[in-house]
Amino acid sequence: MDFVLLQLSGFAGAFIALVLDPLTYAYLIISVFLGITFGALPGLTATLAVTILTGFFGNKIPLDYSLIALLGAYVGAIYGGSYPSILLNIPGTAASAATAMDGHPLAKAGRGGEALGLTTTASFIGTLIGTFALLIFVWLLLLLSKNIASPEKALLALFGILLSGTLMSEDLVIKGWIAGLIGLAMAMVGLDPLLSEPRYTFGWSYMLSGFQVVPVLMGAFAVPQIIDGMRHMEMGQMVQLKGRILPNLSSIRRYMPTITRSGVIGTGVGSLPGVGEDVAGWVSYGVGKTVSKDGENFGKGSIEGLLSSETANNACIGGALIPLLVLGIPGSPPAAALMGAFKINNIIPGPTIDPEIILRVVAIMVLASFTMFVMGLFTARVFIKILRIPQVVFLPVVMVLTTIGSFSVGGGINDLYLMLGVGFVAYFMNLMKYPIAPLVIGVILGGLFDETFRRSLLISGGDLTVFASRPVAAILLMLNVTLVLSQIPVMKRALGRFRGKVI
């Protein structure tokens, strides 16, 4: 209990410092507004919002303000995806896909205002649940992570890439792993981290410093989105918003158990390395359908169904920041973009991170969620108007934003070539249903994996048992092996037979 109180008092200090700074509000209002706009426009995603703002704010303003801008956009974008889900039946972001299942039928039934109001409230509470978990668990894990050495770090990085590849694949799991391996391979370019041996530089001096994170992020997330979105689309009929948006207290109280359960599920899913808000939304929706008394109405306009996904995807943000801050492994694709911002600010997330930064992140999250709540309730009609802008108008603007953002991070024109190259590759990968998130996570974690894997071998004199001789390493190795084996068809069948016998 003392520990929790200590944490809360530390958080209060960081929170008050932020609240007293007038610039905080300027960055918060702009970034949350931009985030909601990005989330609300179908074709733009939360990852894209954080990526583009990383190019703009990543290393150009003090870190505190840069974090406010990026976290504000992250929180806003995940919430903003609910607008087109409810009013157009088109998810604004992948995270809001489950929201459309119940949100749109509710809007068609003339309960759009109520749905938006409850969604806003649930997203707010969900973000707070995730943030509270971040405040508490990050410290417990940081204490544990002091015992994590090179073998554990290497295995954790590998686990993050494998898990992300497994869970983010729409088609074959193997494609997720291939995407992760391509990302890892890209991270091998440049001088190696231990001996400064040049690798795959082809005599080009720009390649000596390896692929920069921001152009890779821009290329992987923005360029395919622009190429894919530049097509003629008839905007679906928008359902007219009826009813008041401001929810009443009694209905919030009635749905509190659903919101709390979904918040916990979202935080849990978010804390898994590399698994994003979309998975959190669907898992929570699935659980809700199973345990809720209203389960049979899920998909037909159930408020509980709507809240299950919307609370979880916002709670996932806090969860996704836990592995990012404790282990340096992003918990979701937007968190990977956030990691890019940390990297260009020379901050290494992980056991050695400055505790002050964690407290500030928590304080920013609380403020961002509050800003999102107020904006969602009182300026919803502005965002509904934004929904009418066709993709062919805003995507070219996004391309210009991406270009200048990527250029100004440091590498100049060469970064733009890299961005375009990665963008075309990512577009074809999308076309063949390869997930892009594992690739980006591979690029980000590749350096860490390479360095820690080889350092482990150096320390042990080439003895491979170093990856199994320490308790945490042994557990992580087992997790990696189990994850791979569980996807092999023979093992899958055997597991199915075993489950059949037991049950």
Partner 1 sequence: MDQDTEVLRTRDFWGALALMAISAFFLWRTFDIPLWGENRAGVSSANWYNSAAIVPLGIFSALAALSLVLLGISIRAGGAQRALSSVGIGWSAKEALRFSTIGIILFFYVAGLVPRVDFVLCSGLLITALTFGFHKGQGRRMILAALSVAVAGGYALAAHLPQSEWAAHDDDWLTLLVWIGLTVWMLCRARGDRVLKAVPTIAVIVPALLVCAMAFGFRQNVPNRGGLLFKQIEYHYYVTIRPLWRG
Q: Give contact residues for partner 1 (rule: CB under 8 A).
A: 56, 60-61, 171-172, 174-175, 177-178, 181-182, 184-185, 188, 192, 194-197, 199-200, 223, 226-227, 230-232, 390, 392-393, 395-397, 399-401, 403-404, 407-408, 412-413, 416-417, 419-420, 423-424, 427, 431-433, 449-450, 453-454, 457-458, 461-462
Q: Which is nearer to partner 1, 249 or 413 (CB)?
A: 413
- Asked if 343 contacts 61 with a C-beta cutoff of 8 angstroms, the reply is no
Q: Which is nearer to partner 1, 489 or 500 (CB)?
A: 489
Q: Which is nearer to partner 1, 328 or 376 (CB)?
A: 328
CA–CA separation, 281 and 265 (whole Å): 9
**CA-wise closest residue to 52 among 482, 500, 406:** 406
CA–CA separation, 499 and 487 (whole Å): 16
Q: Cβ of residue 346: shortest distance to partner 1, in angstroms?
A: 17
Q: Which residue has the tokens 């960081």?
A: 14
Q: Cβ of residue 502: shortest distance to partner 1, in angstroms?
A: 30
**CA-wise closest residue to 121 among 377, 334, 476, 348:** 377
**CA-based torsion, 63, 69, 71, 72: positive or negative:** positive
CA–CA separation, 351 and 428 (whole Å): 37
- Asked if 331 contacts 324 with a C-beta cutoff of 8 angstroms, the reply is yes
Q: Which is nearer to partner 1, 82 or 480 (CB)?
A: 480
Q: Which is nearer to partner 1, 230 or 374 (CB)?
A: 230
Q: Angle, nearest 10°, between helix axes 46-57 and 333-344?
A: 10
Q: Cβ of residue 11: shortest distance to partner 1, in angstroms?
A: 30
DSSP tag of 111 = I
Q: Cβ of residue 199: shortest distance to partner 1, in angstroms?
A: 6
Run of H or E including 4: helix 2-19
**What is the DSSP annotation of 314-344?**
HHHHHHHHHHHHHHS--SSHHHHHHHHHHHH
Bridge partners of 191, per DSSP, are: 198
Q: Cβ of residue 182: shortest distance to partner 1, in angstroms?
A: 7
Run of H or E including 199: strand 198-199
Q: Which is nearer to partner 1, 3 or 428 (CB)?
A: 428
- Asked if 220 contacts 239 with a C-beta cutoff of 8 angstroms, the reply is no
Q: Which is nearer to partner 1, 109 or 208 (CB)?
A: 208
Q: Cβ of residue 491: shortest distance to partner 1, in angstroms?
A: 14
Structural tokens at position 351: 């056991």
State the Cα angle at 155 between 154 and 161, rounded to 5°.
Answer: 95
Q: Cβ of residue 188: shortest distance to partner 1, in angstroms?
A: 5
Q: Which is nearer to partner 1, 83 or 407 (CB)?
A: 407
Q: Cβ of residue 251: shortest distance to partner 1, in angstroms?
A: 39
**What is the DSSP annotation of 26-54?**
HHHHHHHHHHHHHHHSTT--HHHHHHHHH
CA–CA separation, 102 and 299 (whole Å): 5
Q: Cβ of residue 1: shortest distance to partner 1, in angstroms?
A: 45
Q: Which is nearer to partner 1, 38 or 453 (CB)?
A: 453
